[in-house]
């Protein structure tokens, strides 16, 4: 309890700072602090999909850049290669000129992917991976329900910790 009280002002101050910065900088936490976002950014660079703009069809309206949640200057690029691009396709949806901006597979240039097809492909991929994990025996954890409950209890009650002789108050079957 003492530790929680000691760190509470520090935590509250950080929450407030992040909240205030988020008012002035869109997606502030996601763009500058989130470690998961950083990992996703690295993976995004290896994505087999890419957003491409066709300068000959583009009318420079700027809708794509305005719609991008990560403030990428889409209307100034031919191919969006950025760790910040999450592949949301918001930019392609708002483009008023058919064919000027689209998502495509890197290896099959000029074959535009529609958002609906992308969504279907992602769902199928997700379901397929879960099914594959199940039939190959990688879905179930070796953790028993009893151990799981014990771990949860340990998280909720920090005072119940391990000593040199083993766990205290460990529940019996």
CB nearer to ligand SF4: give 7 or 54: 54
CB nearer to ligand SF4: give 67 or 160: 67
Residues that bind ligand SF4 (CB under 6 A): 51, 53, 58-64, 67-68, 70, 72, 74-75, 80, 85-91, 95-97, 100-101
106 token code pair: 């890197």
CB of 121 to ligand SF4, least distance (A): 15
CB nearer to ligand SF4: give 79 or 134: 79
Beta strand pairing status for 101-105 and 49-53?
Answer: antiparallel
Q: What does the alpha-carbon distance between residue 38 and residue 42 come to, in Å, rounded to a whole number?
A: 6
CB of 108 to ligand SF4, least distance (A): 18
CB nearer to ligand SF4: give 71 or 149: 71
């Amino acid at each position: 309890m003492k530790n929680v009280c000691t760190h509470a002002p520090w935590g509250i101050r950080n929450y407030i700072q992040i909240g205030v910065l988020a008012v002035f900088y869109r997606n502030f936490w996601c763009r500058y602090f989130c470690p998961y976002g950083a990992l996703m950014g690295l993976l995004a660079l290896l994505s087999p999909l890419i957003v491409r703009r066709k300068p000959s069809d583009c009318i420079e309206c700027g809708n794509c850049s305005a719609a991008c949640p990560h403030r990428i200057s889409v209307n100034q690029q031919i191919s969006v290669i950025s760790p910040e691009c999450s592949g949301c396709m918001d930019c392609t949806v708002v483009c008023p000129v058919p064919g000027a901006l689209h998502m495509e597979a890197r290896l099959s240039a000029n074959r535009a992917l529609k958002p609906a097809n992308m969504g279907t492909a992602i769902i199928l991929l997700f379901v397929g991976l879960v099914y594959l994990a199940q039939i190959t025996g990688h879905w179930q954890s070796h953790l028993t329900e009893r151990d799981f409950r014990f771990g949860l209890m340990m998280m909720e009650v920090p005072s119940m910790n391990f000593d040199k002789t083993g766990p205290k108050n460990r529940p019996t079957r």
